[in-house]
Amino acid sequence: MMKNKEKIDQVINKFIGKKGSLIPLLQEVQAIDKYLSKDAMRYVSEKAGFNLAQIYGVATFYTMFRLKPQGKHVIRVCKGTACHVSDANSILKAVRSDLHLADGEDTTKDKLFTVVEVACLGCCSLSPVIMIDDNTFGKLTPELIAGILKKYD
Amino acid sequence: MNVLIRVGLASCGLAAGAGEVQSAINAYLTRKKLKVPVRKTACIGMCFAEPLVEFVNDKNESITYGYVKPEKVGTIIDAYLAGKPLTENVVISNILEGAQNENYLSQERIVLRNCGKIDPEKIEDYLANKGYKALEKAITQMSPEEIIEEMKKSGLRGRGGAGFPTGLKWQFAHGAKSSKKYIICNADEGDPGAFMDRSVLEGDPHSIIEGMAICAYAIGSDEGYIYCRAEYPLAIKHLQIAIAEAKVKGYLGRKILGTDFNFTLHIKEGAGAFVCGEETALMASIEGQRGMPRIRPPFPAQSGLWEKPTNINNVETFANVAWIILNGADKYAKFGTEKSRGTKVFALAGKIKNSGLIEVPMGMPLRDVIYKVGGGMKTEKPFKAVQLGGPSGGCVPAELLDTIVDYDSITSTGAIMGSGGMVVMDTGTCMVDVAKFFLNFTQRESCGKCTFCRIGTKRMLEILDRISKGKGKLEDLDTLKDLAENIIKGSLCGLGQTAPNPVLTTLRYFKDEYKAHIVDKKCPAGVCEALLTYEVITDKCIGCTACARKCPVKAISGEVKKPHLINPEKCIKCGVCYDVCKFSAIKKS
């Protein structure tokens, strides 16, 4: 049984017939569950009249689309140039080790956090920077990470 | 005396705690029953000193404090209202000695004219600063041809990086015959290390709308898109508010200012793909497809969005337009050099003291940008290189610091002007690592359409990775060059054509550093992990056993309270011992 059918229907109705609407449509569908499930993509394909290959093509092209469930909070670790020269790697290491993530994992077992690396958050003057949901934390050192993550539950 | 308090609430201000400072100010004023208006503004450019709070009176005497902490606001407000303003942490002021006064005055602010001064969420603030006067002049007193002529005369070149003359671009779109034309503002600022467009969008969104409306009138378009990356939520919010307000006031919509000119504007959020900064890929993305570039010709001016003639400019380019129309092309062309007129906004970041946003006249030497405006190096380590133009650009070394800022001079160094990201690096930065960093980025962001870009960047990255691990060969340097040349020739769009630049410039100016990695198996900057060695400094080690307990491969041995020893055969160079040692007793070299 497809989850959130009604909510997805609302999104489809909002965009149907409008040109160039596939990306914003998928963005809003993703906002419901925080990821695009196979079922959701199939459903959008049937209801909104997009070819499934086209939907999958768009969903895998843009980094904002996620095909796997994600944690309650998303931690974006900036790997931009300014952060890179300010040792963003040590920040990433600290985040991952504090959350006990094994190699290849990006979401904690309790589904509280998902860690992603991003190209640049545009807060270069405060490098190195991470963003948790919509909040940005700058001028970080590895020692500060545990204290920041502790505040989230 | 009427006093106003302004708090800088752009993304970097918020990240530095400006939200808490604003709440503290409001709470303090309420508690003390003081009637001082508190306004928000966006980025004034002194990001390094955030949070920033400005006090300004009706005589326009202003004092801006930096590094403001919530617990300090009471003291600052009391002293100011008592007529004895604190002199500590004054960043800019026109009545007091401010640490950045000289820096601020050496700038020429056209694009950033309103940033950090007005409340970007209030159209009244923009209108009070000659806002929409240029649009009024353009559509009621000028013909489209006159506007295009004025733009050509100003010498403005596209600020997105390529530097194509803006007036000429408009002329092509104007000349295209079609009942429907589009204009697009490229706000997909994807270069890592660049935040010029974000600051303008957050700080002065109406200047973009006004510039676009003038352009639409000039080329004969009635519909436009702003394509903004989704990583900039505050910029999108400010744009949405600005568009809604401009509609209410009649600067957007039907019959603008009583004329026959109609113009609607939409915002399109990007979904995370660097290649969408390329104009044809961007248009594919607006159309709802994968953002892959198309072959040119036809150029967008003939066949662009939905195959209609389309004019596409970058945020900074549009932000210049209203100023040029209002003040005249001649006044604009007085700034800059013969082939690069006007000013340029740069985002200073990296190992520089005054990181932030600046706007300087074209023609200023890089040395002045970095040492005068930027305040010089942040650390004690000396300057090594400045990276211009992001992943498409290159690293300019110390001996070329007298290069002036204009399109052609910077291109001659092998770097590019780009959109304006300037990341300063000191001797603690490894150039092989920097080249690897950018290649890793472009390789991941390549859309995959052109074989050379898709596979060539991958092969280059593999070679750089080998070199950084001490497994490179001298022949690799020739292979890198060869691949680079072929990728440039074999790629359809700017991403592939410029992707090898970071490698080519570092090879050109820092070849010895590559050789040190290959021949001596050493990373002179001490960055490439695989080439480092870790040793215990026996005088400093107190035998706390912390390193031995944390070492993942049990390479450290020793008795409690006696100096420890690292076995180089077993060591995997992970750096954990260095990180956990509280006595600085581990030497990394």
Local confidence pLDDT in tens for the 589 residues of chain B: 689 999 999 888 888 899 999 999 999 999 999 999 999 999 888 999 999 999 999 999 999 999 999 999 999 999 999 999 999 999 999 999 988 888 888 899 999 999 999 999 999 999 999 999 999 999 999 999 999 999 999 999 999 888 999 999 999 999 999 999 999 999 998 888 888 999 999 999 999 999 999 999 999 999 999 999 888 889 999 999 999 999 999 999 999 999 999 999 999 999 989 999 999 999 999 999 999 999 999 999 999 999 999 999 999 999 999 999 999 999 999 999 999 999 999 999 999 999 999 999 999 999 999 999 999 999 899 999 999 998 999 999 999 999 999 999 999 999 999 889 999 999 999 999 999 999 999 999 999 999 999 999 999 999 999 999 999 999 999 999 999 999 999 999 999 999 999 999 999 999 999 999 999 999 999 899 889 889 999 999 999 999 999 888 889 999 999 999 999 888 888 888 988 898 989 988 8
A-chain residue closest to B426, CA distance: A85
According to DSSP, residue B43 is labeled -
Token pair for A101? 């993530």
Q: Is the peptide bond before B293 cis (omega within 30 degrees of 0)?
A: no
A86 contact residues in B (CB cutoff 8 A): 350
Q: Do A125 and B351 touch (CB under 8 A)?
A: no
- Scan residues 92-111 of A and list those with Cβ closer than 8 Å to B: none
Distance from CA of A109 to the nearest CA of B (A): 23
Out of B285, B291, B350, closest to residue A82 by CB = B350
B11 contact residues in A (CB cutoff 8 A): 122-123, 136
Out of A21, A119, A123, closest to residue B11 by CB = A123
Q: Do A85 and B306 touch (CB under 8 A)?
A: no
Residues of chain A with CATH 3.40.30.10: 73-150
Token pair for B324? 């040029």
- Scan residues 331-360 of B and list those with Cβ closer than 8 Å to A: 347-351, 355-356
Across residues A62-78, what is the average pLDDT? 92
Name the strand (E) or helix (H) holding B246.
helix B233-248
Out of B286, B351, B421, closest to residue A85 by CB = B351
Q: Do A85 and B289 touch (CB under 8 A)?
A: no
- CATH classification for the domain delimited by B123-332, as one of 3.40.50.2300, 3.30.499.10, 3.50.30.50, 3.40.50.11540: 3.40.50.11540
Closest by CA to B449, choosing from B254, B292, B276, is: B292
Q: Do B348 and A127 touch (CB under 8 A)?
A: no
Q: Report pLDDT for A153.
A: 86
Q: Report pLDDT for A85.
A: 84
pLDDT one-digit tens code per residue, B389-406:
989 999 999 999 999 999
- What's CA B144's distance to the chain center, in Å? 32
Whether pLDDT at A1 is above 70: no
Any A CB within 8 A of B392 CB: no
Closest by CA to B118, choosing from B109, B128, B108, B110, is: B128
A-chain residue closest to B431, CA distance: A85
> Do β-strands B421-426 and B343-350 pair in parallel, antiparallel, or remain unpaired?
parallel
Topology of the domain comprising B3-100? Glutaredoxin (3.40.30)
Q: Do A62 and B291 touch (CB under 8 A)?
A: yes
Test the B interface: residue of A124, A130, A145 with most B CBs within 10 Å: A124
Neighbours of A2 (CB within 10 A): 10
Asked if B263 and B272 count as a contact pair (C-beta separation under 8 A), the reply is: no
3-state secondary structure of B397: strand
How many angstroms separate the CA atoms of B329 and B474, rounded? 53
Distance from CA of A86 to the nearest CA of B (A): 7
Q: Do A21 and B387 touch (CB under 8 A)?
A: no
Q: Report pLDDT for A148.
A: 94
Strands (E), B398-530: 421-426
A129 contact residues in B (CB cutoff 8 A): 15
Q: Is the peptide bond before B70 cis (omega within 30 degrees of 0)?
A: no
Distance from CA of A116 to the nearest CA of B (A): 13
Any B CB within 8 A of A61 CB: yes
Any B CB within 8 A of A138 CB: yes
A-chain residue closest to B45, CA distance: A125
Any B CB within 8 A of A52 CB: no
Out of A57, A64, A125, closest to residue B349 by CB = A125
3-state secondary structure of B538: coil
Token pair for B108? 């020429």
B-chain residue closest to A139, CA distance: B16
Phi/psi region, residue A102 (left: phi>0; alpha: psi -120 to 50; beta: rest), is beta
Token pair for B576? 């954990």
Any A CB within 8 A of B507 CB: no
CATH of domain B343-426: 3.10.20.600
B48 contact residues in A (CB cutoff 8 A): 125
Token pair for B306? 């939905």
How many angstroms separate the CA atoms of B93 and B39, rounded? 18
3-state secondary structure of B216: helix
Beta-bridged to residue B347, according to DSSP, are: B357, B421
A-chain residue closest to B268, CA distance: A24
Asked if B364 and B186 count as a contact pair (C-beta separation under 8 A), the reply is: no
User: Up-side HSE of residue A90: CA atoms within 13 Å toward CB?
Assistant: 18
Q: Do A81 and B12 touch (CB under 8 A)?
A: no
A136 contact residues in B (CB cutoff 8 A): 11, 14-15
Q: Report pLDDT for B501.
A: 95
Where exactly are the structural domains of chain B? 3-100, 123-332, 343-426, 431-520, 533-588
Beta-bridged to residue B566, according to DSSP, are: B556
| The 3-state secondary structure of chain A, one letter per residue | CCCCHHHHHHHHHHHCCCCCCHHHHHHHHHHHHCCCCHHHHHHHHHHHCCCHHHHHHHHHHCCCCCCCCCCCEEEEEECCHHHHHCCHHHHHHHHHHHCCCCCCCCECCCCCEEEEEECCCCCHHHCCCEEECCEEECCCCHHHHHHHHHCCC
| The 3-state secondary structure of B411-438, one letter per residue | HHCCCCCCCCEEEEEECCCCHHHHHHHH
3-state secondary structure of B52: coil
Q: Do B190 and A119 touch (CB under 8 A)?
A: yes
Q: Do B271 and A122 touch (CB under 8 A)?
A: no
> Do β-strands B62-65 and B534-536 pair in parallel, antiparallel, or remain unpaired?
unpaired
Alpha helices in B143-232 (DSSP H): 144-154, 166-175, 196-203, 205-219
Q: Report pLDDT for B236.
A: 95
Any B CB within 8 A of A22 CB: yes
pTM: 0.92
Closest by CA to A23, choosing from B46, B383, B269, is: B269
Test the A interface: residue of B12, B264, B357, B440 with most A CBs within 10 Å: B12
Distance from CA of A130 to the nearest CA of B (A): 10
Token pair for B258? 């009583």
Q: Report pLDDT for B1.
A: 67
Any A CB within 8 A of B149 CB: no
- Angle between helix A38-48 and helix A5-15 axes, rounded to 10 deg: 40
3-state secondary structure of B287: coil
Out of A22, A64, A134, closest to residue B233 by CB = A134
CATH of domain B431-520: 1.20.1440.230
Distance from CA of A83 to the nearest CA of B (A): 8
Superfamily of domain A73-150: Glutaredoxin (3.40.30.10)
Topology of the domain comprising B533-588? Alpha-Beta Plaits (3.30.70)
Q: Do B48 and A125 touch (CB under 8 A)?
A: yes
Amino acid (one-letter) located at B202: E
Asked if B332 and B341 count as a contact pair (C-beta separation under 8 A), the reply is: yes
How many angstroms separate the CA atoms of A73 and A92, rounded? 16
Distance from CA of A55 to the nearest CA of B (A): 9
Q: Do A90 and B14 touch (CB under 8 A)?
A: no
Q: Do B271 and A65 touch (CB under 8 A)?
A: yes
Closest by CA to A126, choosing from B16, B213, B497, B373, is: B16
Question: C-alpha angle B333/B335/B341, rounded to 5°?
Answer: 55
Name the strand (E) or helix (H) holding B514.
helix B511-518
> Do β-strands B264-269 and B223-228 pair in parallel, antiparallel, or remain unpaired?
parallel
Q: Which residues contact A46 (CB under 8 A, 6 or more apart)?
A: none
